[in-house]
């Protein structure tokens, strides 16, 4: 059984008075296996973010279902959703989304505090993660004192400290310079090698070229997918570029 | 077309910002209405001509100055808040090609529109409610209600003038703000991340110490006059301390709580404590202002209510009988006192002609301001001066004649020469003998109540009353010694009684008696004092009722100000918290956790000022009580009751406002979800 199964997913947005409706996702089907590193690509407005919101149960699908470990997200009660997200999903966003009222350390602790962990347990868990992400010296600092790359690594630490089933990343390199981007992608690959399942939405070819599989979305459907196989990052990069060219010039699915 | 363009832009600006503008307009309208009502009543002719009406209108005239000043301060606060929130919009216009000059025109139109709407609606509301306010005031001062309705044009003119001036000043202030700003600043959003507030130990602890000192002063002052003087010092200390505590002390407290890992890393404390530090940094000054406004309202309304409802106490203390006459006359040495008999024969029939009389007090008194030197009271001026310099307490010596005492109190006491009954309001003094000048007295008995109270005794100095066998002969020496240069002595004949005549007739009786006494022939009149309780009551009701009414008006205005400040705070916070709570939801905070956290923070922000204000009131209590003693009001249960009722009413009102504004806040914060 796959870790994440998406079948027949459809999302239609209607304006408040039902005047006009926009079909953001038409019919999306795919699955993610335990330990995979999947990138989802598409142009702006192709429905990437809508898809991610549905996967994160931040929004409800119009039709179709999302199964995580065989559990249908749409069957989870509203009151349990936040708890479910906290225990099973980790999030990394383009805009980092650190709270500026907390020090970096407290930002990383946030999900654990909400779960009622003791301070000793939290301190035990943060130690290896901070070392791996190169944050050990920065924990007492506040977000306004940190660079973009440091903030994003902090956000990754916050996402993985709960040991989530799947790490969801929404354009994680979108607000980073190239050096910080390389560093973050290296970290993602490293986390993935250690067994962390990652699903990343991006339109950066470079970011996608680090994944083990790339899905392309166009007009609300999965249009195409690429497997890394034995390819290097550079080779995958070239193949993604080719696929995107076909995608934008209007070719048919291969 | 072009002129209409700017007016339309201004109108759109107001409409698009109605969440901020509507409360601003409403409070401006209320200010106009209250100022008009106050002016209309203070210029009301029928009110002025009423018994006691002069006092009441004077009090209201004074209130006008306070109200106008407060309206100015308050509209400035709200106006500067509005202009800050709208800088972004102006920045956009600026980038779209509008110069500072054009922005100025929009601002002018906005101010003109605000002024026109608020003064028109405010005056209409004021006129509509002025009759109601008049009825309330008349009821408070026990005046007669008439059913004429008038609109004093003068009041409308002054109200319009005052608010035109305020809005003009506000406009100049806003124009300067816009002129100073750069377009980039106007557009810049505030997403750069905020520095965490630093705990400032010096200011935080300083505030706590200052507050402690002010409270200590308030509790430890014993003397009513000193209380009056120290009160203002204590008030300034409390105001400073409130600002320090809420700005620095609150952040300090949050930081201390954060140090305790066991306390801080709990779901229910984690988010609240860390956001409170930021919230207090941004809102400390505003909350302190609210706290001080609330304290003022509570003190004002409980004190004026206590004075108003304690009026009878004050009256009875100052003026225990319906009518009181005090006739002072002079005697030459050795001259026989034939005048007392004449006075008695003149006054008693006249008093009885108006109605039957009872509780008659008739006695002689002679008084000597001096100094109490242990068991000795000097009468020689030089000696008194030296003793005062040496630090002995001032005292007022009253001598009362024994026959008057026996007659007034239905006693049958006999005293030998050199013996006396004594009353002293300083219970520490209870010697068995007392020497006045060269004359020693053996104290036969210490009286519990002062048999010869003089009216309007404020109780500032020690009063000693001696009941002596015969004033006319023996004790003339004392008063004579006091006026060494002059060869005469002064005696006061006191006559007071209750009458069953109606209060108008009593008032007339007092006037008649005064006439009678002033026109006595062959009478060495020195000084005449006549008073009538009914007249005094009218006057007291007029001044205390006027004050109470003014207290109510000011409370309404202060309350509205506090509410508007709170509302603006909530709206501001709402926009700033939107993003924050969006993140928390993503990280896995449930909606109910978020709501609970918002609730606890909002409640703290809301009720800290109220709680602190009630604490201030509680500590101000002993001082207020002492100051009320100066107004002859010594009624602790009444003061407690009025304070409790004020606090209860206020808390209720506050809770209602909290619910209303919290909804505005929630709708902004939860907008975060939908807009994602």
Per the CB < 8 A criterion, the answer to whether A208 and A240 are in contact is yes
Q: How far is B460 from chain A (nearest CA, A)?
A: 57
Q: What is the pLDDT of residue B593?
A: 76
pLDDT digits 0-9 by tens, B228-271: 778 888 888 998 999 899 888 888 888 888 888 888 888 778 88
Q: How far is A171 from chain B (nearest CA, A)?
A: 15
Segment among A87-101, B52-66, B571-585 with least mean pLDDT = B571-585
| Stronger pLDDT, B354 or A211, i.e. the higher one | A211
Interface of B with A in 194-253 (CB under 8 A): 194-196
Q: In this complex, do A83 and B588 lie within 8 Å of one another by their Cβ atoms? A: yes
**Percent of the residues in chain B that have a pLDDT greater than 90, as a whole number:** 10
Is the Cβ of B193 closer than 8 Å to some Cβ of chain A?
yes
The per-residue pLDDT string of chain A (254 residues; one tens digit each, 9 = 90 and over) reads: 788 999 988 888 876 666 677 888 888 899 999 999 999 988 777 788 788 888 888 788 888 989 988 888 888 887 788 788 888 888 888 888 888 888 899 999 988 888 888 888 999 999 999 999 989 999 999 888 888 899 999 999 999 998 899 999 988 888 888 899 999 999 999 999 999 999 999 888 999 999 999 998 888 888 888 888 888 888 889 998 888 888 777 655 44
Q: In this complex, do B587 and A91 lie within 8 Å of one another by their Cβ atoms? A: yes
Q: What is the pLDDT of residue B604?
A: 79
Q: In this complex, do A122 and B591 lie within 8 Å of one another by their Cβ atoms? A: no
Q: Measure the CA–CA gap between A5 and A22, rounded to whole angstroms.
A: 24
Average predicted confidence (pLDDT) for chain A? 86
Per the CB < 8 A criterion, the answer to whether A37 and A195 are in contact is no
Q: In this complex, do A113 and B580 lie within 8 Å of one another by their Cβ atoms? A: no
pLDDT band at B33 (very low <50, low <70, confident <90, very high): very high
Q: What is the pLDDT of residue B253?
A: 86
Token digits of residue A223: 């249009």
Interface of B with A in 586-605 (CB under 8 A): 586-593
pLDDT band at B486 (very low <50, low <70, confident <90, very high): low
Q: Measure the CA–CA gap between B367 and B158, rounded to whole angstroms.
A: 51
For the full predicted model, state whether its pTM sits above 0.90.
Answer: no
Q: Measure the CA–CA gap between A27 and A64, rounded to whole angstroms.
A: 8
Q: What is the pLDDT of residue B672?
A: 45
Question: What residues have CB less than 8 Å from A34, skipping those under 6 apart?
Answer: A2, A3, A197
Cα A136 to chain centroid distance, Å, stands at 24
Is the Cβ of B263 closer than 8 Å to some Cβ of chain A?
no
Q: In this complex, do A114 and B588 lie within 8 Å of one another by their Cβ atoms? A: yes
Per the CB < 8 A criterion, the answer to whether A180 and A188 are in contact is no
Q: How far is A253 from chain B (nearest CA, A)?
A: 32
- Helix (H) or strand (E) holding A35, with range, is none
Token digits of residue B166: 């305020």
Q: Measure the CA–CA gap between B559 and B363, rounded to whole angstroms.
A: 54
Q: What's the rounded mean pLDDT across residues B618-629? A: 86
Cα B515 to chain centroid distance, Å, stands at 39
What is the dihedral sign for C-alpha B183, B186, B191, B194? positive
Candidate from A79, A82, A97 with C-beta closest to B583: A97
Q: Measure the CA–CA gap between B580 and B571, rounded to whole angstroms.
A: 15
Among B281, B588, B591, most A C-beta atoms within 10 A, so best to mutate, is B588
Q: In this complex, do B589 and A82 lie within 8 Å of one another by their Cβ atoms? A: yes
Cα B91 to chain centroid distance, Å, stands at 45
Chain A residues lying within 8 Å of B676, measured CB to CB: 53, 58
Token digits of residue B173: 């202030």
Euclidean distance between the first and final Cα of chain A, in Å? 26
Q: Measure the CA–CA gap between B547 and B300, rounded to whole angstroms.
A: 9
Say if residue B667's pLDDT is above 90: no
Is the Cβ of B391 closer than 8 Å to some Cβ of chain A?
no
Q: In this complex, do A85 and B586 lie within 8 Å of one another by their Cβ atoms? A: yes
Q: In this complex, do B586 and A58 lie within 8 Å of one another by their Cβ atoms? A: yes
């Amino acid at each position: 059984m796959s870790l994440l199964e998406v079948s027949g997913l459809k999302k239609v947005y209607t304006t408040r008075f039902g005047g006009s409706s926009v079909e953001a996702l038409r019919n999306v089907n795919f699955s993610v296996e335990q330990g995979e590193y999947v990138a989802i690509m598409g142009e702006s407005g192709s429905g990437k973010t809508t898809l991610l919101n549905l996967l994160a149960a931040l929004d409800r699908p119009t039709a179709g279902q999302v199964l995580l470990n065989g559990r249908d997200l749409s069957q989870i009660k509203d009151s349990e959703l936040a708890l479910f997200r906290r225990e099973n999903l980790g999030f990394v966003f383009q805009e980092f989304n650190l709270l500026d009222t907390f020090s970096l350390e407290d930002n990383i602790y946030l999900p654990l505090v909400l779960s009622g962990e003791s301070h000793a347990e939290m301190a035990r868990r943060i130690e290896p993660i901070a070392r791996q992400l190169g944050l050990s010296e920065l924990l007492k600092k506040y977000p306004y004192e940190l660079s973009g790359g440091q903030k994003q690594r902090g956000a990754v630490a916050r996402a993985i400290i709960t040991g989530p089933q799947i790490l969801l990343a929404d354009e994680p390199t979108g607000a980073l310079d190239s050096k910080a981007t390389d560093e973050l992608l290296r970290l993602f690959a490293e986390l993935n090698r250690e067994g962390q399942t990652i699903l990343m939405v991006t339109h950066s070819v470079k970011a996608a070229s680090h994944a083990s599989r790339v899905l392309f979305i166009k007009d609300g459907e999965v249009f195409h997918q690429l497997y890394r196989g034995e390819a290097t990052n550079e080779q995958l990069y070239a193949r993604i570029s080719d696929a995107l060219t076909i995608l934008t010039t209007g070719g048919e699915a291969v | 077309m072009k002129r209409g363009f700017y007016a339309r832009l201004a109108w759109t600006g107001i409409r698009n910002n109605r969440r901020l503008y509507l409360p601003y307009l409403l409070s401006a309208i209320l200010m106009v209405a209250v100022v008009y009502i106050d002016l209309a009543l203070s210029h009301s002719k029928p009110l002025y001509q009423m018994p006691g009406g002069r006092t009441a209108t004077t009090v209201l005239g004074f209130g006008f100055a306070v109200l106008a000043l407060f309206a100015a301060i308050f509209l400035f606060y709200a106006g500067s808040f509005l202009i800050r929130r709208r800088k972004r919009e102006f920045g956009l216009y600026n980038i779209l090609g509008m110069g500072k000059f054009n922005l100025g025109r929009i601002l002018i139109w906005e101010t003109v529109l605000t002024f026109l709407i608020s003064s028109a609606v405010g005056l209409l509301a004021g006129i509509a409610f002025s009759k109601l306010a008049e009825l309330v005031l008349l009821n408070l001062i026990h005046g007669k209600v008439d059913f004429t309705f008038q609109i004093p044009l003068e009041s409308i003119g002054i109200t319009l003038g005052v608010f035109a001036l305020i809005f003009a000043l506000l406009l100049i202030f806003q124009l300067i703000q816009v002129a100073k700003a750069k377009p980039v600043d106007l557009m810049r959003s505030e997403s750069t991340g905020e520095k965490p507030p630093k705990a400032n130990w010096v200011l935080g602890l300083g505030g706590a110490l200052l507050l402690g000192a002010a409270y200590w002063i308030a509790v430890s002052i014993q003397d009513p006059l000193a209380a009056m003087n120290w009160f203002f010092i204590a008030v300034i200390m409390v105001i400073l301390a409130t600002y320090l505590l809420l700005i620095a002390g609150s952040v300090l407290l949050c930081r201390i709580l954060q140090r305790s890992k066991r306390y801080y890393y709990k779901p229910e404390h984690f988010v609240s404590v860390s956001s409170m530090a930021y919230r207090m940094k941004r809102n400390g000054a505003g909350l302190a202002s609210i706290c001080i406004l609330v304290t003022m309202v509570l003190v004002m309304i409980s004190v004026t209510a206590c004075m108003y409802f304690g009026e009878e106490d004050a009256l009875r203390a100052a003026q225990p009988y319906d009518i009181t006459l005090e006739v002072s006359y002079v005697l030459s040495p050795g001259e026989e006192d034939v005048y007392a008999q004449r006075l008695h024969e003149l006054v008693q029939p006249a008093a009885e002609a108006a109605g039957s009389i009872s509780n008659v007090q008739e006695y002689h008194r002679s008084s000597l301001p001096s100094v109490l030197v242990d068991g000795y009271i000097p009468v020689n001026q030089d000696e008194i001066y030296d003793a005062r310099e040496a630090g002995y307490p001032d005292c007022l010596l009253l001598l009362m004649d024994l026959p008057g005492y026996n007659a007034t109190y239905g006693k049958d006491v006999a005293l030998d020469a050199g013996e006396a009954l004594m009353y002293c309001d300083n219970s520490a003094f209870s010697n068995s003998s007392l020497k006045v000048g060269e004359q020693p007295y053996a104290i036969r008995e210490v009286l519990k109540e002062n048999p010869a109270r003089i009216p309007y005794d404020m109780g500032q100095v020690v009063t000693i009353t001696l009941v002596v066998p015969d004033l006319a002969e023996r004790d003339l020496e004392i008063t004579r010694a006091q006026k060494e240069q002059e060869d005469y002595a002064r005696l006061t004949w006191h006559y007071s009684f209750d009458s069953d005549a109606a209060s108008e007739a009593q008032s007339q009786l007092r006037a008649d008696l005064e006439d009678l006494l002033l026109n006595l022939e062959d009478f060495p009149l020195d000084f005449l004092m006549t008073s009538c309780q009914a007249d005094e009551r009218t006057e007291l009701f007029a001044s205390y009722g006027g004050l109470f009414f003014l207290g109510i008006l000011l409370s309404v205005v202060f309350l509205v100000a506090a509410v508007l400040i709170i509302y603006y705070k909530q709206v501001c916070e709402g926009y700033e918290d939107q993003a924050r709570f969006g993140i928390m939801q993503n990280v896995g905070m449930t909606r109910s956790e978020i709501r609970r956290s918002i609730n606890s923070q909002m409640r703290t922000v809301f009720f800290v000022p109220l709680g602190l204000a009630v604490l201030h009131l509680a500590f101000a209590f002993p001082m207020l009580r002492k100051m009320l003693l100066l107004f002859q009001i010594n009624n602790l249960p009444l003061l407690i009751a009025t304070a409790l009722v004020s606090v209860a009413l206020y808390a209720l009102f506050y809770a209602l406002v909290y619910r209303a504004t919290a909804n505005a806040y929630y709708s902004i914060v939860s907008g975060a979800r939908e807009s994602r």
